[in-house]
Chains A and B, each alone.
Chain A
Amino acid sequence: MSLVSQRPEPGPPRPWSFPSFERREVAGGRVITCHLPGKPLAVLELVADAGAVTEPAGKEGVAEIVVRALSEGAGEYDAYGFAVAGERLGATWRSHTDWDSFRCGFEVPVGDLVGAAELLAAAVREPRLDEASLLRVRDERVDEIRLDLSQPGPRAGAAFAAAVWAPDCRYAVPDGGTAETVAALTPDDVRDFHGTRLRPDAVTLVIVGDLDATDADAAARVVFDGWSGTCTETPPLRPPVPRSTGARVVLVDRPGSVQSMLYAGHDAPNRRTPDYVPMTTMALVLGGMFNSRLNYRLREDKGYSYGAFGGFDARRDAGIFVARSAVQTEVTAPALVAAVAEIRTMHETGSTDPELEQARSYRAGVFPINFAGPGAVASGLADLVVHDLPDDHYDRLRQDVLDVRLDAVNAAAAQRLRPDDLVSVVVGDASAVADELRAAGLGPVEVLTDEG
């Protein structure tokens, strides 16, 4: 038997750049088109400045209800008729809200793009928003939140948000709202949000696919022609304020758990921070790749977990840093201590050159893989709109990643990781883990009873 002992050298790198695209105005609307030849499916995505941070106080979760309600009857279609009309084209409806954006649209065989645009136009311009449908969508969403919170990951995420941010801050509750805030929404709340935020001057239509096989302009005209109205001013964000400084532990009791879900992190800079590239590259070394320190320590070295990851979520107004892992109940405290130790070590001594080289080449190399299809490209283009980024953003970002230096990465580690401020959330069996967590020296331990 013979195996080749020598690892092959890579060939010469082949050039890649983000697919070229055009920003234009069609029928008064903002449109971005991108040609991907030969792809049988195209993507039509409408992105609006109507994310969770634009929700009025007390109406947390209304954006998500609106995006779901759009497909529950629009124009000539009732909910079932809308579903069937799209699916008979082979079109798949996708909708989503997050902190900073509101997105909906179709993935559709490219020849039926205009037909899908007609449905999209009906959904965003003429949704029925009838009382019965809105109440059903709202109540389904409440059920869904309860179902989510019965799982350790979402439960930890909600507890983490509440522990990191001051109580009156929007970020203190999940972007999709809580069971209480959603249950309190009325049909008029939903109609108001739609009427004030889903206006043509606050949306951009992204079309990605084989533009030789469809008439993108016709699709855009269908969406924008004759649509008028202006969006209300985006309300000023209640400034995101961290709840407190100093390390502490929140233990959410989930009796009978055979694992503990661990979150450890703190508030972090927003998307516009000047050290975005060094900060996020540092996070790859710490917890963003399989061979990152957190996964190596908790999984490959200790066998505590199926996986451990960490990184930044840099939103428009502020962000978070969080490390996460689900660990066997018996090793809860040592696993959390080990994760915190990795964060502290990175904060104090930074990355090594080989680690940085791996993170840099991974992050730069993976661009063409991450932007492989129309859906990913459309999503990337929508992100440009959401964060007001320039046309050459992705190519420039890739170059910035290749150029990032160790001293900048280590400066970001020293400044952006704050081990003494870590808020640790543990969702697990308190009777089994509370005592050892109190003894672990990670700050005072507060025990919450899980009502999920």
Chain B
Amino acid sequence: MLTVVPVLPDYPYTLHTLDNGLRVVVIEDHLAPVAAVNVWYDVGSRHETPGRTGFAHLFEHLMFQGSTHVSRNDHFGLISAAGGTLNGTTWCDRTNYYETVPAHHLETALWLEADRMGGLLDALDQQNLDNQREVVKNEKRQTRDNQPYGSWLDLVHRHAWPEGHPYQHSTIGSMADLDAASLEDARGFYSTWYGPDNAVLSVVGDVDTAATLDAVSRYFGGIPAKGSYPPSPPSDLPRLIGAEVRRTVPDRVPVPRVFVAYRCPPFGTPEFDALELAAIVLGGGRGCRLYKSLVLDRGLLQAPDGDVTSTWPFVAGATVFIADLPAREGADIAELEAAYHEIAEGLGDGVTEAEMERARAVHTSTWLHHLATVDGRADMFSQVTTLFGDPGLVNTLLPRQLAVTADDVAAVARDFLRPDNRVVLVFEPAGDPEDTEEAAA
């Protein structure tokens, strides 16, 4: 007799808010003696001020440079010596910091996170800032400036959102703004955004909930609440871009490649749920429309490692739906682009139930895969609690998205995957790459 493992997530969790406003989510999982600690701060690159693009991410690096009781190399040193792994990331809506440790070292991770949440300024100095500024500039070179097609992300940000919108610049920022960042900026950013009442702490793994909450209040309880945070920068914008934006980018690349970005309702809306499924029907996995037509039947599109189309989970005003279309060697780029548009817009004419079943199954497995590890699960709990205030969404968001119908998918395709709502970036092989600022100007 076989047991049945639920196919939808159903994780019991405890949400507790400390007196200082820190929200703590604890999920027990005793399969292996490990624990994941994950802190999301509700600040990202969309909270940056003009002239300081890239600062939220540079600041994330400074959070690893020591604090009141932690010396410069101790974040990595102590967690490594415990047999754990750690890192941090920054994106438009968040900055997160996380450790996965053998469970008996849980309190080491909590202590380290608390010390930098409450005591970063004691260790912040010009030398750390100057060193990490160079590290971040090299990160930008390594991941963008020295890579073929490396400017595409910046160009999507610049053109899919209007001038002045908080998503109009990418998280990595500009070299000039990174150069301009001062110690004063860092102190101000920390004092403005980094407090317990602007953070969510998730702990997942081989832990006892009551003992974990005790430990959390011991380490974090003495950090004072800030009480108030600046209002989010205004993010209202027209629902659609209004006219196609097209940029041709000569670059040192082996084959032409087209990126298409559409402005869409943000993560959290019913339209976004439908667009998630639309991305799978159109360009997710290998049983999607684009793979069949452009890769298998017509040989125009280079078979991707991942998905051809995807959405970004942004919450402020509008997000984007992206298609990534590298051409096969010798394929006509205009033919590829035209074929793509025909298929993408054809989604609006209707979607079959068989396509929906495939999309739902793929979407479910993707979720389960992300939730399979304690660190992936901790990050998901921090994410939905930070963005929507409800940790239960880890269990309920997937069923909500699975309820999307074929008609819903066709409707959002008609409403958003349309010519007057898209940014088209065409990368073309050229001997000498032009400066992308000029190319886009």
Interface residues of A (CB under 8 A from B): 1-5, 7-8, 10-16, 36-41, 71, 79-80, 83-84, 86-93, 107-111, 136, 139-140, 142-144, 146-147, 149-152, 210, 212-215, 255-259, 289-291, 296, 299-301, 303-306, 326-328, 357-358, 361-369, 371-374, 452
Contact = CB atoms under 8 A, between A and B. Distances in A.
A341 B141 CA distance: 25
Nearest to A328: B138
A364 B223 contact: no
B316 to A, nearest CB: 28
B2 A361 contact: no
A258 B146 contact: yes
A91 to B, nearest CB: 7
Interface in B6-29: 6-7, 9
A300 B255 CA distance: 37
Contact of B148 (A4, A151, A373): A151
B361 A89 contact: yes
A362 B80 contact: yes
Given A89-B361, A214-B2, A452-B254, A368 B118 contact: no
B131 interface: yes
Interface in B25-39: 31-34
A256 B432 contact: yes
Interface of B: 2-7, 9, 31-34, 68-69, 73, 76-78, 80-85, 100-108, 110-111, 114-115, 118-119, 130-139, 141-143, 145-148, 206, 218-219, 222-224, 252-255, 285-287, 291-292, 295-296, 299, 302-303, 326, 328-329, 354, 357-358, 361-362, 364-365, 368-369, 372-375, 432-433
A197 to B, nearest CB: 23
B287 A80 contact: yes
B107 A358 contact: no
Given A358-B80, A362-B81, A372-B373, A304 B134 contact: yes
Contacts of A328: 134, 137-138, 141
B5 A83 contact: no
Contacts of A371: 32
Contacts of B286: 71, 79-80, 83, 87, 93
22 contacts: A3-B219, A11-B103, A40-B5, A91-B365, A109-B365, A110-B5, A151-B148, A214-B2, A291-B76, A296-B73, A299-B135, A303-B132, A303-B133, A303-B138, A304-B134, A305-B135, A327-B138, A328-B138, A358-B81, A361-B81, A365-B82, A369-B84
A399 to B, nearest CB: 14
Contact of B114 (A3, A13, A365, A452): A3
Given A10-B82, A41-B369, A259-B146, A147 B254 contact: yes
A16 B148 CA distance: 44
Contacts, number: 262
B282 to A, nearest CB: 14
Nearest to B363: A90
Contacts of B254: 146-147, 149-150, 452
A257 B146 contact: yes
Given A11-B104, A111-B4, A38 B111 contact: no
Given A15-B33, A306-B143, 15 more contacts: A3-B68, A3-B219, A8-B107, A10-B104, A39-B31, A41-B372, A71-B286, A80-B291, A88-B357, A110-B5, A146-B254, A149-B254, A290-B76, A291-B80, A358-B81
Contacts of B83: 361-367, 369
A4 B219 contact: yes
B80 A256 contact: no
A347 B193 CA distance: 46
B146 A326 contact: yes
Interface centre among B299, B365, B368 (most CB of A within 10 A): B365
Contacts of B68: 3, 5
B80 A38 contact: no
